Structure 1
Amino acid sequence: MFFKQKWMRLFDYLKVKHKLLGIYLIVTAIPILLVGAYLNYSTRDIVLNNSLNEAKANVDKLELRLQTIFNRVTDIADMVYINQNLKELLEHDYGSTLDMYNAYNQYPIFDDFLKYYDEVETIQFFMNKDMITDSHMIYADGMVKNQSWYKEAIAKEGRLSWVYMENYWTRKKMLALTRSVYGQSHDLLGVLVIYVSPDMLRSVVEGEPYQALITLDRSTIIYNTSNKQIGEEASFFEQEEQPFGNYVIDSEFGGEHVKVNVHHFQPDKSLDNTFQVSTVIPVDDVMKEPNAVYAKGFFVIVGALTISLGLIGIFIRSFHKRIQQLRKTMYQVAKGNFQINEQVRGHDEISDVYRDLMTTSKSVQKIIDEVYIHKIKEETWRRKQKEMDFKMLASQINPHFLYNTLEMIRMKAVLNKDPEVAKLVKMLSKMMRSALERTDRPIPITEEITLIHNYLDIQKMRFGDKFYYQFEIEDSVKDYYIFPLLIQPIVENAIIHGLEPKEDSGFIQLTIEEEDHYIQIEVKDNGVGIKRDTLVEIRERLDDQEYLSDGNSIGLHNVHQRLQLYYGERFGVAIDSIVGLGTTMTLRIPKIKQGEA
């Protein structure tokens, strides 16, 4: 409901031509464009989904082929792991190098595997025992043992581990299955490494319509039909782990926007490693033909909308011109010019309104003369009256005469050795100078506080021990400005009407605090208080603009009216009082700094 009202208010501020144009765009142009865009994106989605479904079917086939290859490699690893001849070969103590060489020749199992299994590129066994090194049997020296794949195989204690590593002899990187092998007494014999043939991986993905990748553990690309980025990190995988099966990733790959159809699976007996077969579908290439169809349709729609927009524009221009003529004529009437000579073109509702305006123009002029002009004069008189109330105080006494007289009295008191009188005259002089030299412009709030301080010091000397006062002023308010003589009349009012009639001792507490959006000034006394009926009368009188204050003092009414005159109706004076306990008068003023007034 709130947003509806907000939009309705915004609509009301628009010109008629903008409203008509907006209605046309909302009702006609935008729906046509939205329908066209919907049909285009629907077509794009259909084409893209067909490509993804085709890729999914292909990826399922690739996964079955890879499973066959990995299962055969796993079977070879199992056969080597349980082969007793290998364990006897590695555990036997040989008397000479010749005996060791003959033992190697009696163990041709690795060559048999390479002969009958095309899935295997080569097999290497890294022996923990220092024996003769050949193409298959390699002594695991310190450099080998420091390799990460070797440490991982040892840590898994016979479990299978798939890694992408270098061939010990050729230094070419390829996919390999590693497994640590143990003897009869569970002593480590070495680490078996079976390298998967890259030709077999190539045969799996050969002939695919899109670029196909095989990755290990969602990280390393172990094969790519484009022969690029093999061995690098697959950047398109998301951070979150995905479940096994098919899913699609929307990403960037090779500098292109692509859809990646991923089949995530785990080979048999592999507990820690997973493989991903991915088909990379370049979105721009797939969408080339649908985009061409969309472009042609878009130009047809834009052409039709352009023609209709031109026709509606001609109508709106003619309509707006007549509305503007009526508006200008009404503006002349509002400005006081009631001599209407032109006639608006047409014979519709606009021309009828124009003729009605001519009929009522004389009545409007009479109303303006009697009400509007009189109201302006009355308001001007009130503003001048309020300014005169403030100027009356400052003009009652000739400042130079007053300063000279007070200084003469102070000097006589000093000569007569009466320091108390001299101090009193000095404070009075400072206070009167501060008050009389001010203009009705904002001053630092510290100057107003100094004026009140001098005033209360004089009252302190007047009442003696029967009077004391207290200031509680936050440091943050000292940076703000205030119009002069707003607080002092309140303090004076508290002493005259609150403390003077009181027989016991009295106090005045001045508190100035900074709130979120304003400054609060509180003057509190423990005087005789104000009766409830009188308090109600005073509150009503504060807001009575017709009330004329006494010319001999500024008074609460003048302070309240000045606050609202300068700061607005949200600010002013508030009074609370309890008979016998005292009165609290609160002023609220806005936060104004130098240069903001």
Structure 2
Amino acid sequence: MFLVRIMNDMKMKKKLAVTFISAAVLPLLLSGLFLTGKLREIVINDAFTQLSNNVERVRKRTEELIKVPLNISYRLTIDNRMKKVAAQKYESYTEVIQAYREYTDIRDYIQLYKEISSIRVYVVNPGALNNWEFIQPDNAIMAEGWYKEAIEQKGLAGWNLIKDERNGSEQLSLVRSFPVDSLGEKGVLAINVDKQQLRSILDQEPFTTLIVDDRNRVVGSNEGEFFGKNLSEIDGDAKILSRQEGSYDTVVNGKASKVVMVNLNPENSWNGLRIISIFSVSEITREANQVIRLGAVVITVSLMFAVLLIYASASLLSGRLLRLSKHMSKAGAGSWETYIHIDSKDEIGLLSKQFNALIRSVHDLVQEVQETNHQKNLVEQRQSEMKFKMLASQIHPHFLFNSLESIRMEAHIRRQDEIAEAVWLLSTLLRSSLEAGNGNIPLREELERVRCYLEMQKFRYEDRLEYHLTVDADLEVMPVPPLIIQPLVENSVLHGLDNREEGAVITVEVKKMPKGARVKVCDNGAGFTAERLAEIQAELAESVHEQESKRIGMRNVNDRLVLLYGESSALSIESGSGTGTAITFFIPGGALND
């Protein structure tokens, strides 16, 4: 009431100004602040998502790149010809040169694989020569940390930023030791990862991306100024040196930044690499801030124009109302001859015309009002709304089961045991289907559902259908998703009895394997042609379907298996025209202990 009184006491101009600020300026300002915050949040989240995806892509591509020198190192460390060339005793330099010339595997690897730039074999052999492939390590080389680590790690691969003796540049290299002879002598193999290949992976990234070894040295970067530096030399959060794989906020070069870090651990290696990607929040939001500033300018100009327009409108409105108020004051003083002329068609112009008409007939109106006050009858019509509630009756599952049980008992009384058995099977199958939730069930319950279904089909097809259920005893309690075998059996029954007068044989086999359990559903039906089998397999392999699959049961089973256990558990179909069909899937060992 206090606010209403204040608003009523305000002048028209102030009232319009307050109304405009309350109804337009404040909501617009609050909306702008909210949308600005949301825009920044969306931009940062999108950039962070892109950053995470980019880091994972760099990790995968880098892993593929370093697999090449890793595989080559495997081959060379077991290459007896290479060991013989590196370690045999030579009588003359001519013999050395001849042996180097005949052994071309290293040069072939360099020409064949663009992922590597050089291969060096370090073996102590006083009678040999250095040809940049076979190198006699001097004391300086053998004192290097990477050389000592390679000897100590006994054949494991290591990844370090080491100096190439040919051109003096540092490159990311694989180093590993290998036995030269049976006396325990060891040599060291060094394979340089090609800089251009590594740089081509990083240059595609829009954000600062670094590849760092276990000594925190930058072995790869899409910004050349960071290459070869230690992370401690970069003006950033000291925690970046000790942070493990993950994402976090930090400050780099005095700017708030987002950092995503993933580990790359090559197989059979004593150390690994880290992929680090950084983006500055201010750089990411720069374009958004420009849009926000432009929007603020547009909104400010619009508000100024609106204020001027509101002020002009308020002045025009208040001026006419003031004229009308003065004439009303005259009429209130008893001057019934006063008239006002306002040339407009809005509410104020209409009010002035009505005011003039009021003045002309005020006496008659007073009398008429007095008469009509006694005769006036206010008629109110009330409409009663009727709400109709539609009651939907639904058969409760217990009612359905009780009805089936009554039918079964009546069949027993009439000595129709086969019908009673079929009704019992149907009741059991319906109950298990209705009670199936989202959790796993023991294998024996799933097989009992399969048996009930097959007995129902056997009641229908009689001797035309024969089935066999085989399961290892210790697998009966294995947890499996509900309805994971029955749809496959149903598919086998449909196709097994399709156009086969002699009937069908359905076999369900659950067998324990070294790393899990194998489930196999077979039939001796018509099978699939090679073309049809290829279509079904392609259909199951698709991740997104533009139209609904015709094999809903198989597709549903396959999707659940892949989602629960991975691609290795997808359905495997073997079939041939006239030879039946076998569908197999695998439940991994971890699922046996769930």
Q: TM-score, normalised by structure 1?
A: 0.42
Q: Point out the structure with max Rg over C-alpha.
A: 1
- TM-score normalised by length of structure 2: 0.42
